[in-house]
Amino acid sequence: MRFPTTARLVLGLTLLAPAACDDTMAPESGQRAASLIMNQPLRQVDRMGLPAVNTAFVSASADKNAFNLGTPATDEAAFLGTLTQVIMARYGLNAAQAGALANFVLPDVLPLGDLSGFPNGRRPADDVIDIELGLIFGVFGPAVPALQSDNVDANDRAFAATFPWLAGPNGG
């Protein structure tokens, strides 16, 4: 019997959700298996709710590792001051502008369910890097039009008309 794509996705998420979503299972108290197939401990190595937050706003390697292993619940307490300082130094924003931008990107989460697009949700075609550059070099900081785009305006391959909607990987 062949399940429709949606049924396969729901079944897969149902199997993974108990392993991946239990915040009460701290690493020091034991780890859940990541899936029935992999049978390996679940281990966080990276996170990217908002693209480029860690890349653009966290400076030292040790801070990047701490950020990747952190949780959104502790983002503001652990990183707000550091991000504000990095933004001031790296992008020339004053303390108020840098603080507003740091508050905007923390906690590093990706809201779901809002079809208005990034940063309130995420649609596949949203040009998130241009939006983030526009925030740095226009909304929160001084307007610098030349720095408000990465000049990549579209994917090199069209989105699919059916799930999973994203184009397949490039060869090579």
Per-residue tens of pLDDT for the chain, all 172 residues: 443 444 444 334 333 444 444 444 444 444 455 555 667 777 788 888 888 888 888 877 778 889 988 999 999 999 999 999 988 998 888 999 999 999 988 999 888 767 788 888 888 888 888 988 888 888 887 788 888 888 988 888 888 888 888 887 777 6
H-helix segments, the chain: 5-20, 53-57, 61-69, 75-91, 95-105, 128-134
Which two structure tokens, joined as six digits, stand for 166? 């994203």
Contact 22, 30 (CB under 8 A): no
Domain membership flag for residue 39: no
| Predicted model pTM | 0.65
4 found inside a domain: no
Contact 147, 133 (CB under 8 A): yes
Q: What is the pLDDT of residue 79?
A: 92
CA atoms within 13 A on the CB side of 169: 2
87 is a domain residue: yes
> Rounded to an integer, what distance in angstroms lies between the CA atom of residue 38 and that of residue 141?
46
Evaluate whether residue 32 is within a structural domain. Answer: no
The CA distance from 42 to 62, in Å, is: 22
Is residue 19 a part of any domain in this protein?
no
Provide the pLDDT for residue 1.
Answer: 42
Residue 109: inside a domain, yes or no?
Answer: yes
**Structure-token match 């069209």, residue found:** 158
The residue range of the domain holding 114 is 53-147
User: Letter for the amino acid at 1?
Assistant: M
pLDDT at 99: 93
Residue 17 within a domain = no
Structural domains counted in the chain = 1
In degrees and rounded to multiples of 5, residue 81 shows phi and psi of -65, -45
Within-domain flag for 84: yes
